[in-house]
Structure 1
Amino acid sequence: MSRDIDVLVLGGAGVDTIVHVPQLPLPYADSYMIHDGIRTRAGQTGDFVALGLAALGLRTHHLDLLGDDPEGELVRALHRERGIALTAVPQPAGTKRAVNLVGPDGRRLSLYDSSRGHPDDRLPEATLRELAGRSRHVHVSITQPCAHALPVLRESGVTISTDLHDWDGENPYHETFARAADVVFVSAARLPDPGRTLRRIAGRGRARVAVATAGAEGAHLLADGELTRVPAVRPPAPVVDSNGAGDAFAAAFLFGHLNGEPPRRCALYGALAGAHACTVPSTRTDAIGRDGLLARAAGADA
């Protein structure tokens, strides 16, 4: 079968409503005036990874469940506008949605609507096998349908990556994904010892590379048994929102990984893309392009 897809992105399609608040945590009050407006746009973790991969020139296909609702149409429209192939499986419970409270410093607090899904939700096995068979790599979101998809992906022989987000290093649900993936991303936010967690991921699973992103403090990289620190890079413009920075990091890292770059170079690409994402307002969906990424990488070398 022809490998006409570079990366198949599983899960993580949805819609966010963005609310800029005067501070986080937000003190209790009867009401707040939101002068920047309250805006709803397509884009959750799978959408942002797919967007980042496509912007870097990788042939990208996104597979997830979507509702026949206004939120689902926003997601479909985003993929149409950006030329990203989308296979949408009907979701009677509706399209995933969340509310993001964004503080003045760009930090966010996300409120996820867990009613739009059920533990027994599945991606159709025949569709999953067909798309995985056409793909060089699969990036898996940590949603319930994707958990059920892991055995099929392992049988297909395709390489896998996943993002554990703010895992605490203990929750067994996340560990299932960590053990199944060849490349693992995780936020260091809730990890008391990121290096120890990365070594545990590699020791218990099949990961050849594991990365713990730490925002302005850079990242921790474990590759070939060696643990190193990756410095943060200076954003090219003022930081306005951290939403999507981790997804941008993962997309750019995978761009380097699939092009045969060494892990340290992949991590530099990730840091540059993550820094770019922090300069994009949360009401927009934008990603660094291939030429821009390579130019900034060359500048970092210099």
Structure 2
Amino acid sequence: MSSGTPATDVLVLGGSGVDTIIHVPELPLPYADSYMIDTGIRTRAGQTGDFVALGLAALGLRTHHLDLVGDDPEGDLVRALHREHGIALTALPQPAGTKRAVNLVGPDGRRLSLYDTSRARPGDRFPPKLLRGLAGASRHIHVTITQPCAEALPTLAEAGVPLSTDLHDWDGENPYHEPFAHAADLVFLSAAALSDPERTLRRIAERGRARAVVATAGAEGAYLLADGELTRVPAVPPPAPVVDSNGAGDAFAAAFLYGRLSGEPPERCAHYGAIAGAYACTVPASLADSIGRDELLQRTATGPRP
């Protein structure tokens, strides 16, 4: 590596935390005084930033994750996850504690997530000097929409490094998501809450700097808007039974970024994303696992070409 080569392929900002997974008999869950959960209730590290970092590292990209993490048992799980997968983690102290969520998972793999928003403080910030240093040492930055990433956007813009973000189930109207949507060169989101995905994708591109916008639509594939042209990305059959959709969008984003940083065109990047997202749906919610580069490329070579 030459002295002018960035030390990191992707800096992932925010989105670390711990999920408690509960498999329920159906969603929505009817009211009852109690339910017996014979599959167990499990807690594991892994929220959106963790899963993107995990997916990137599994695909061979040098990944660094920056976030606020508590000095608590949940934070220990986050730190252990990164050690186990060889992912560099800068964990700044968070007195409010590590981010937490509860995921209710139905028999068909759908999930309902309950996020604990108390694990943040209004004054939380990433130190600008640290942020500039990590950004300047990276080829790309993926910004999650968790606190306090919104306050980091102006500093990241000054760094001049390409940005991506994931708006998740944005409805196209909530103003909280707009700074992320307009600051990123590449925008991911779910089509689940969109009445008109094409209109939302075009509004993001027109009002911001994005050259590519992707809305994932589960079994219906995805919408890709690249350089003004909208295309539909076919879904890819999962390689095993679907057990949980948690992390599928993060896997899609990681594989798309792998393609982008490898110089692939947007359509091929989206196909990589579809393969990785389908794989993620076959991973039990209690595990943190991502498709590897060899399997991704093998499935790309043997499946239909985009």
Shorter-chain TM-score category? over 0.9
CA distance in 2 between counterparts of 1:301 and 1:291 reads 17
User: How far does the alpha carbon of each residue in 1:85-143 deviate from its partner, in whole angstroms, 9 at most, with x for none?
Assistant: 00000000000000000000000000111111022211111110100000000000001
Percent of residue pairs identical: 79
Task: Please say if 1:171 is aligned against 2:174.
Answer: yes
Q: 1:185 aligns to what SS in structure 2?
A: strand
Task: Please say if 1:274 is aligned against 2:272.
Answer: no
CA distance in 1 between counterparts of 2:147 and 2:184 reads 16
Coordinate RMSD, CA, aligned: 0.7
Letter of the 1:92 counterpart: P
Aligned to 1:238: 241
CA distance in 1 between counterparts of 2:146 and 2:79 reads 19
Q: 1:144 aligns to what SS in structure 2?
A: coil
Aligned mate of 1:33, from 13, 31, 36: 36
Aligned to 2:198: 195
Aligned to 1:216: 219
Aligned mate of 2:19, from 16, 21, 26: 16
Task: Please say if 1:46 is aligned against 2:49.
Answer: yes
The offset of 1:224, in angstroms, is: 1.1
User: How far does the alpha carbon of each residue in 1:47-81 deviate from its partner, in whole angstroms, 9 at most, with x for none?
Assistant: 00000000000000000000000000000000000
Task: Please say if 1:298 is aligned against 2:305.
Answer: no
CA distance in 2 between counterparts of 1:255 and 1:2 reads 17
Off by >6 Å, runs of 4+ in structure 1: none
CA distance in 1 between counterparts of 2:93 and 2:157 reads 25
TM-score normalized by the length of structure 1: 0.99
Aligned to 1:95: 98
Aligned mate of 2:266, from 263, 267, 272: 263
User: How far does the alpha carbon of each residue in 1:132-177 deviate from its partner, in whole angstroms, 9 at most, with x for none?
Assistant: 0000000000012110000000000000000000000011110110
Letter of the 1:181 counterpart: A
Aligned to 1:72: 75
CA distance in 2 between counterparts of 1:242 and 1:298 reads 24
Letter of the 1:114 counterpart: T
TM-score normalized by the length of structure 2: 0.98
Aligned mate of 2:141, from 138, 142, 145: 138
Task: Please say if 1:111 is aligned against 2:114.
Answer: yes
CA distance in 1 between counterparts of 2:202 and 2:114 reads 31
Aligned mate of 1:152, from 147, 150, 155: 155
| Unaligned ranges ≥5, structure 1 | none
Q: 2:132 aligns to what SS in structure 1?
A: helix
Q: 2:148 aligns to what SS in structure 1?
A: helix
The offset of 1:2, in angstroms, is: 4.2
Q: 1:68 aligns to what SS in structure 2?
A: coil
CA distance in 1 between counterparts of 2:238 and 2:15 reads 26
